[in-house]
Structure 1
């Protein structure tokens, strides 16, 4: 089998489409990391009906912290305390989901579609360097 080199290009150079694919992969990794960071920063702290219990719930629904005001355990019986805690966790979980929807769908945070960037690049001729999406090569 014969290997045919692109005219004017050495055998060690990557084809522009391959370089574009590598650039796309890098950009996708960066976008996914950015989304994870934004999601991980979202927490909710909604008080219970009495205001004496405040949980901290993250976007994955995990209970990260729980504040009980002094005297809360003495004020409520076991079942009432459980109801206070669960109500506060449910409210915080609803709030964190709402925050997630707002943050992830904010038009200011939405990057340009990759397909549009690639179409623009291809329209200019694929012999130039691939799009780097405004970021330095890593």
Structure 2
């Protein structure tokens, strides 16, 4: 029987307010030859992999300023073996939804010179980067 891997994340979604997620690599038995070079990451960076035996962890940090994106942490099959030297056949992956772009507001004025009292009928326009709830 070949070694199996499951990858999980402490968070299914990360926003600009969330700093990181813990990624857990759970093997059916302790792997031989598994290291950071076996992991492909998109949408952020993965810190050092720690742990021994069948469970390893690492910290995922998302890329800043991504709106409605996703991250992926995956490991292909065949990159590590079990104790008998049999290579893993199947890979594993986890996806994390990302929205790390902080909301913004732009304010513009109908008065191109921005002079004169407001009583003269200046219109201010507020443009929001996303819907506001209040």
- Could you say which structure has the higher strand fraction? 2
Alignment TM-score, normalising by the size of structure 2: 0.30
Output the TM-score relative to the length of structure 1.
Answer: 0.29
**Greater gyration radius:** 1
